[in-house]
Every structure is written in C-alpha cells, then in structure tokens.
Structure 1
Amino acid sequence: MSSSMFKEHSSQQERLHILLNEARQRYIDRNPGSKKLHEEALENLPGGNTRSILHADPFPICLQRGFGNRLVDVDGHEYLDFVGDMTAGVYGHSHPVIQEALISTMREKGLNLGGTSAEENQFASIIRHRIPSIQKLRFCNSGTEANLYALSIARHFTGLSKVIVFEGAYHGGVLTFAHGVAANNVDKQDWILAKYNDVKKVKKLLAENKGRVAAVLVEGMQGAGGCIPGSAEFLHAIQDSAKENGIIFILDEVMTFRLAPGGVQSKILHPQLGIALNPDLTTLGKIIAGGMTIGAFGGRADLLSVYDPRISMVQHSGTFNNNSLAMVIGCKALSIIYTPEICIELNKLGDMFRERLQLLAKEKKMKVTGVGSVCNIHFVRTIAHEICGIEDITVEPGSSETVLKDLLCFHALESGFWISRRGMLSLVIGTTKEETDGFVEMIQRFLSEHQEFVGS
C-alpha cells in the first residue's frame, strides 16, 4: 500500500469510528431503561444475560413485549421484527392459534403428565409426512440435544467416535465451529474440520476416513455461520461419499426446516437449491412446534432402533421430551399455521426481499447471502468479494467492515427495525411486502449516507 493510500485509509477509518461513536452515544441516550436494567442484571448474571448472542455493546436493548411481528422495548420504542429470534420465531410473538392452544392445554390437559399421549404420536406422524426420509423419530428439548442424540446414534451404531463437521457450523451451544472447535464443545478430540462448499476436498476426506469416522454432520445452509447456502453439488457429494464409505450422513435442519415444506432436503424446494436429499438422520428444533422448547431427531428405522426400549438398553430420557404444550402446539403449528402453502408463500417473499437487497449491494462492499425467508447482510473488503464459506466473511475487530456492521445495526434500530448485530435477518409470518419494502428503503438510505465507505 502506497503512502498516500495508507493515509487515505487511515483517515477513512478515523471518520468511520467518529460516526460509530456518535451512533453509540445516541443509542445510550435513547435507551436509559435498558441501560439501567442491564446494570442491575450484572449483579446476578455473568455479562448481564443468559444467552450470549443477545449481548451487545454498550448494552443490549431490553424488550418488554412482542405482538405479531413487532417488538416493544422498556423505553417504549417499537420495532418491526426482522430477526425472528434467529429463525426460531417464524410464528411471531402472539399467534392466536398458539395462544389458544397454550391456554386450553393447561386448562384441559396439564403441562407434563409423565406418560405417553395421543398427541405425541400425532405430531410424529405429521413430521414424517413432511419429511419422508424420517422413518422413525424421537423428541427432545432443543436442537442442540437433537444433534447430540443423532451423534450418539451414529457412534453407537458404528462403534466409531470421530465426526466430520464444517468450519463455520453451528449445531448447538456445545457444538460450535465458527473459528475451529469452540472451547466449550463436547468431545473436543473427536472432530475433523472440513471446508464448507469444497466438493473435491470433502470427497477426499470422506474416503480417507472410511472405518475411522462415525458420521458427517452438516447444515444445508450455514445459519449462524453467515447464512451461506450449501451448493447442491456439495451436499450431494457428502451424501453419496458418505454412503460409499459407510459413514452416517446427518443433516441439521434445526434452522433450515422453515425454508421449504420438508426442509432443504425436500423435493418441493426453493429454486436456488433444488437439492432433494435423503439423509440417514435429520435433526429439528423449535420451528416444528411454534417456537416452543423442543427438538427432534429421526431417520432410518434401523438407526432409531438404538433407542427402542423393547430391544435396546440404550437410554433416551428427558422429563419434558413429550410435554403436553410442545406436543399439542406442534400438531397445530405444522397442520394449521406453518402449512406447506404458508411456508412457500413466506419464502417466496423472502426471495424477493433478498434479491432487492442484493440489487442495492451491487457495486458496493456489501453482500447478501441466504435462502428464502432467511438472509444475512455482510460488509466485505472489496466489491468483487465472493462468499462460499466462513473464511470469506471473517473480518478483523475494529476493521471498516466491523464498524459498518455496527453502524447499520444502530441505524436500523433508530429507524424502527429490529436486526441482529451479525446481520442475520429472518422473516416472521404476517410480514408484508410493504414492510420489507420499508426495510429495503432503510438500507438504501444507509448506503447513500455512507457511500464513501461502501462504494467503489
């Protein structure tokens, strides 16, 4: 870098940080109630919260209530929700069918009966109808649990322990691979990290580890890793190579089930992917039951027999695995609310939304990745930047890209839009085209105001 270019870059960095400090101060001034509650929470909770992703500098906004696709904070500001609780809140915050089911179930059934129920089987049947690769399934309490149990099946069935996962993957709080194997991950020595969307290398890796690896675990679109879609060629290469080498193929649909009636593996799918996969095991999360605390894992009947108490001593327990609220609401969520038709409609709106954002990003140092109703805004180093994996969106703390991301978040909140610091967006049922248009206009204003930093 020449001396003049270095000076210009330093000057630009200075101006960006001045803008960020001004936005940060406006945020502090606008949210005294959130600031006070955060300071009080520091007395009892490490960092003042109990869900790390919700932490934000200088303090997180404290929400008071939600209704439909809107949120209200303790300082009285109202936001259009474009986060959808990191994809899990696709149903919004007060769906009348879910409200009625919650009340009637508590009144007429009870919370947790400590026995089996008709709804448990009904719910399982609805899921199997939506996802044909699932021959048998079991319920648990979260997507994290679902992935842990799927891995336990693969390890028990094969007698092997190692698992191939991908850089940038998030399979739960103790199964995180954004920057290598996270410090709090389970089974730290049992992971083999591969590069996402690298067809040639994944085929080679699966072949080389025949007889050593129990399973390969992958998301059809890396959610927390930046909403990066797996190519059809890449995902089919995993499926075919896993089968050839006796390795169990686990598809994590905890986030991606919302993207098509049967998830990203479905045949009736989004045109960007068109995958039609047949995984050995599939994992699911809160989306299947209206956002309730739930998970599910299912797939080949022979694999699920590991947890059949008639023939196996391997235990799968959990007090709330089949709790009444999740079972009843799950039946209603998939049969009445998030029907295949509603699913297709929401994701079609999401495609149009993302395409409009991508058009704004053209010739800018901004990229928009995603599928259907879930996408992610990224700021990148050059206009020509391509995004295939987490290495393409990794930026240094304090860099222009990081500052722009923070500035956008402050700008969106001031404009009445709830977005995440990481730039992930997911649409909620009931969001209108007019509301997505309003969001696009907000982004357009931001890019115009910051043209010197995002332009060519």
Structure 2
Amino acid sequence: MQPIMINPHPIVEVDGLKSQQMALNNVHKQYTVSNPRSLEAYNRSCEVMPGANTRTSIHASPFPLTIERGQSACLYDVDGHEYLDFLGEFSAGVYGHSSPVIKEAIVQALEKGWNFGTKNMYEDQLARSLVRRYSNSMDLIRFCNSGTEANLMALGAAMNFTGKKNILVFANGYHGSTMLFLNGAMKHTMNAPYGFIIAPYNDIAGTDSVVSELPPNSLAAILVEPMQVSGGCTPGTIDFLRHLRELATTEKALLIFDEIMTSRLDYGGLQVTLGIKPDITTIGKWAGGGMSFGAFGGRREIIEWFHPRSGKLAHAGTFNNNIITMAAGVAGNAIMTEERLTELNALGSNFMAAIAKTIETRLSVSNGSKMQPKIFVTGRGSLFAIRFSGPEGEILRELFYHHLLTNGIFIASRGFLALTLENTEAHCTRLLGVIEDFIAKHESALL
C-alpha cells in the first residue's frame, strides 16, 4: 500500500478567509515536518484501520499525534515531544497518567487473578461508594462498560417501565456512539433505531411545541445532559432543566440525566448543584478509576426490574464487573473526595474566568471594539471549551489547536479541555500565556 501523503487544504477563494487558510496550510506543513514518526505511525495504521484509528473523536488534521507514554500531567509522543495535558482523556483521565494509588490497586487485584465468571470482592465496594456519592437520585446501581452502554440500558429500562416508546432528546446532544445528535456532524447516522424526538436545547417553548405534536401519553423518557459537553460545553439553564423535570412528571415519563461527564462537577453530580432529582442517572469515565466503565442507577422501583428473580429485565455483560475497573474504581473514588473535587472545579472556574477576561481585554477594551470576538469560552468548573465563531471559525480552531501543540500544550482538536487532579495553577498560567500569544498573533481575524 502506498503511504498516505498529507496534502495542504485548498485555498478558499473568499476575502477574509484566504489568508487564514494559507496560514493553516503552512502550519500543517510544519507539523508534518516536525512529527515524522507520528506520520509514519498514521500511514502504517491506515493499512488496517480506516483513518488509522477506531475512535473518530481523536482524529486531528492533518493526522493525529501518536503518544508513546504519559506521566503525571504530561504526554510524550513518538517524536520525543512533551506536552502538558489539558484533555485528561476527555474527562476519563481525571487522575492523571500515573496515579500510584490506582496502579497499586490494579496490581494487587491482578495478583489474585482475573476473569472469575462470578461476583468479586470489589464490585460491592464500588457500588456502595457510588450510591453514597449519587444518593440524590440513586437507590440502586448497575455497571456496564461505557457511557454508551449506560445510556442504552437506561433507555431500555425507561421504555419497559413506562410501556412507552418515544424518547425526547435535544439538538447538539451526545449520549454515546449510538446516540449522536450533533448538528451537521455526519451525512449518515449510526444511531440506535429508537423513537427519538429531537427538541431544541435550552428552549422551553420550542421543547413544549415538539412534545405537543406527539400522540398523547407516548413519551417514555427525556434524556438530557445538564451540560452538553461534546456539544460545546453548553450549560443547561436551571429554568430549562427544571421544566424538563416537571414535563417528565406530567407526561408520566422518566427523566434521565446523562452525567457521564458532568458527574465530576459536584460531589453528587451537576444535578446536586441544580437541585434537580432525575429518575435515572448515568455515569462513566472517571468513576471507574479511568478504566472502561459505565453505570446507571435510579429509583429503587425502576432498577429493581433488573433483579434476576423479578423475571422482568435481563442485563448481561462479561466485563460489567471486570477486576481491573472494579479495583481502579474503588481506589479512584477514595481519591476523589468532596474536598479535592471542589478544589478541581474551583481551579477550572477561575481559569475559565481568566481566559474570558484575557479575550475581553485583548479584543474589546484595547481595540475599542464593541463587536463580539470570534473566540469565546463556555463550560462549567473543570470542563470547558474554547470556541470560535464566524466563517473563519473552523480554520481558527485548527490554528489554535496547532498553536497550542507547538507550545507544548495538548487539548482536544475541537477545543475541549478537562482538567485533571495533576493540573496546577502554574499549568493554567502557562496555558493562559499561550492563549494570549495566539490572540495577539491573530487579533485582526478574531474581531
């Protein structure tokens, strides 16, 4: 197979875009020169995997870096570059890359063997820890292997419990690889063939209008993220989310909070901050110690349907209680005390405010401009995104991503950041300076 060559993007023949596209082409060329081993790894992997990976979200143009190892808050690629990690494995890696506590827990567990085919000593410990943490809405809990699975199981439970089929979801939402509603994300869909009804997020009137068009008494569940993380870290307004609670009660439907990622924004999840009690909550990622993990829990009368003696719902999964995740999860939840979680989210909130202030200072005050800058930050606590608007938005986002890489900072190519327990105020100060340099370099394009 011939190596895949990296060609520059064609220059867009539109005034105002042309120079930015030329700049991006040059950045891609330099990136290719600076990362020959990552390019080699990419070309080699393309022989056996479409796009050289099995995970669409980690693709980056012109090709993704290949990481060789991680240590604490840093990543090291195959070309020998060091990066300060602000992605934290899209929130799953909140403990950093080498927690000695989690490592010891896994090693000790593996010394006793694995793949038992029955209960093990760790799953009860993890279940108790998580039910205590999410006691606002969880009486009972079930484990699975991913957030996708957790949401699928929650929806299955809701449809069976209510005897109805329609599921209300929201534009720009993401609930896993089979429940993706991001605007214009793909021409085709891999979504599960459920009765999804899509309403506008943070729009009470628009949501009520959509529901009013449904047949009476046909809504089984409302599935919502209290903050749309993959959809740009857009927080749900408290009025909107409270309305969904009322709507679910009125419609005799179940309110499902997808807290796969937002569960780290408060000790009991973002629902505690908001003062809202869903019927089912789904969690994942970091709660399994950074290993493959998902879970769903809720009101006793719903989750008890999974009791084998009930004869109602079956829920299989060879690795639902796998030793590595169970042991890592127990250790990780012990690390993630309420105090440490509060400190992490305070660090994120302060950092996000500092970014917003830098944008305002550089692009509004100093220029005397009343126009909204084309760079802005959205999110809550330790989860946020640096975003771009306007016709040049996509190009500016790529330029920003590569600017950070050049300066030894690693985030998601879409601009998403998830702080870890290893990130410090000094790290944030360093990144803030790199962001300020980017704004100075592209000031005219960002206004």
TM (normalized to structure 2)? 0.91
What amino acid is aligned across from residue 235 of structure 2 in structure 1?
P
Corresponding residue number in structure 1 for 2:121: 118
Corresponding residue number in structure 1 for 2:337: 339
More moved, 195-204 vs 45-54: 195-204
> 2:374 matched to 1:365?
yes
Question: How far apart in 2 are the matches of 1:245 and 1:236?
Answer: 14
Question: How far apart in 2 are the matches of 1:365 and 1:145?
Answer: 37
Q: Secondary structure at the match of 1:122?
A: helix
- Aligned pair count reads 421
Pairwise CA distance, 1:296: 0.5
Contact 1:250 1:282 in 2 (8 A): yes
Pairwise CA distance, 1:118: 3.2
Q: Secondary structure at the match of 2:207?
A: helix
Pairwise CA distance, 1:419: 1.4
Contact 1:206 1:242 in 2 (8 A): no
Distance 1:243 1:208, change over 3 A: farther
Corresponding residue number in structure 1 for 2:101: 97
Distance 1:433 1:420, change over 3 A: same
Corresponding residue number in structure 2 for 1:6: none
Distance 1:148 1:439, change over 3 A: same
Contact 1:141 1:295 in 2 (8 A): yes
Q: Residues 261-313 of structure 1: CA distance to partner in whole angstroms, max 9, x if unpaired? A: 111011xx3xxxxx111100000112111111111101011111221111124
Pairwise CA distance, 1:181: 9.3
Question: How far apart in 1 are the matches of 2:311 and 2:100?
Answer: 42
> 2:400 matched to 1:400?
no
Corresponding residue number in structure 1 for 2:250: 244
Pairwise CA distance, 1:128: 1.1
Q: Secondary structure at the match of 1:315?
A: coil
Corresponding residue number in structure 1 for 2:328: 329
Corresponding residue number in structure 2 for 1:42: 46
Question: How far apart in 2 are the matches of 1:292 and 1:239?
Answer: 32
Q: Residues 131-165 of structure 1: CA distance to partner in whole angstroms, max 9, x if unpaired? A: 11101111011100000000000111112111000
What amino acid is aligned across from residue 196 of structure 1 in structure 2?
Y
What amino acid is aligned across from residue 320 of structure 1 in structure 2?
F
Question: How far apart in 2 are the matches of 1:118 and 1:40?
Answer: 42
1:194-205 to structure 2, matched below 5 A, reads 194-205=199-210
What amino acid is aligned across from residue 200 of structure 1 in structure 2?
A
Contact 1:203 1:237 in 2 (8 A): no
What amino acid is aligned across from residue 339 of structure 2 in structure 1?
E
> Equivalent of 1:226, from 232, 242, 252?
232
Contact 2:95 2:420 in 1 (8 A): yes
Give the CA RMSD over aligned residues.
1.5
What amino acid is aligned across from residue 116 of structure 1 in structure 2?
K
Corresponding residue number in structure 2 for 1:142: 146
Distance 1:193 1:49, change over 3 A: same
Corresponding residue number in structure 2 for 1:257: 263
Corresponding residue number in structure 1 for 2:370: none
Contact 2:167 2:194 in 1 (8 A): no
What amino acid is aligned across from residue 51 of structure 1 in structure 2?
R
More moved, 161-170 vs 325-334: 325-334
Contact 2:177 2:191 in 1 (8 A): no
Contact 2:158 2:221 in 1 (8 A): yes
Contact 1:143 1:296 in 2 (8 A): yes
Question: How far apart in 2 are the matches of 1:185 and 1:40?
Answer: 27
Contact 1:82 1:427 in 2 (8 A): yes
> 2:221 matched to 1:215?
yes
Corresponding residue number in structure 2 for 1:78: 82
Question: How far apart in 1 are the matches of 2:192 and 2:54?
Answer: 23
Distance 1:181 1:278, change over 3 A: farther
Contact 1:305 1:312 in 2 (8 A): no
> 2:285 matched to 1:300?
no
Q: Secondary structure at the match of 1:152?
A: helix
More moved, 170-179 vs 202-211: 202-211
What amino acid is aligned across from residue 39 of structure 1 in structure 2?
N
1:7-86 to structure 2, matched below 5 A, reads 10-86=14-90
Distance 1:200 1:257, change over 3 A: same
Question: How far apart in 2 are the matches of 1:181 and 1:283?
Answer: 24
Q: Residues 83-106 of structure 1: CA distance to partner in whole angstroms, max 9, x if unpaired? A: 111111111111010110111110
How much identity, in percent, do the aligned residues show?
Answer: 39
What amino acid is aligned across from residue 73 of structure 1 in structure 2?
D
Q: Secondary structure at the match of 1:429?
A: coil
> Equivalent of 1:410, from 402, 426, 432?
402
> Equivalent of 1:192, from 190, 197, 211?
197
Corresponding residue number in structure 2 for 1:396: none
Q: Which runs of 5+ in 2 are unaligned?
A: 1-12, 365-372
Question: How far apart in 2 are the matches of 1:69 and 1:88?
Answer: 14
Pairwise CA distance, 1:208: 5.3
Pairwise CA distance, 1:187: 3.8
Contact 1:206 1:241 in 2 (8 A): no
Q: Which runs of 5+ in 1 are unaligned?
A: 1-8, 270-274, 382-398
Q: Secondary structure at the match of 1:40?
A: helix
What amino acid is aligned across from residue 198 of structure 1 in structure 2?
D
Contact 1:162 1:190 in 2 (8 A): yes
Pairwise CA distance, 1:258: 1.1
Q: Secondary structure at the match of 2:87?
A: coil
Corresponding residue number in structure 2 for 1:172: 176
Distance 1:181 1:238, change over 3 A: farther
Corresponding residue number in structure 2 for 1:272: none
> 2:438 matched to 1:449?
no
What amino acid is aligned across from residue 127 of structure 1 in structure 2?
L
Question: How far apart in 1 are the matches of 2:378 and 2:229?
Answer: 10
Question: How far apart in 1 are the matches of 2:192 and 2:432?
Answer: 43
Q: Secondary structure at the match of 2:445?
A: helix
Distance 1:239 1:180, change over 3 A: farther
Contact 1:238 1:249 in 2 (8 A): yes
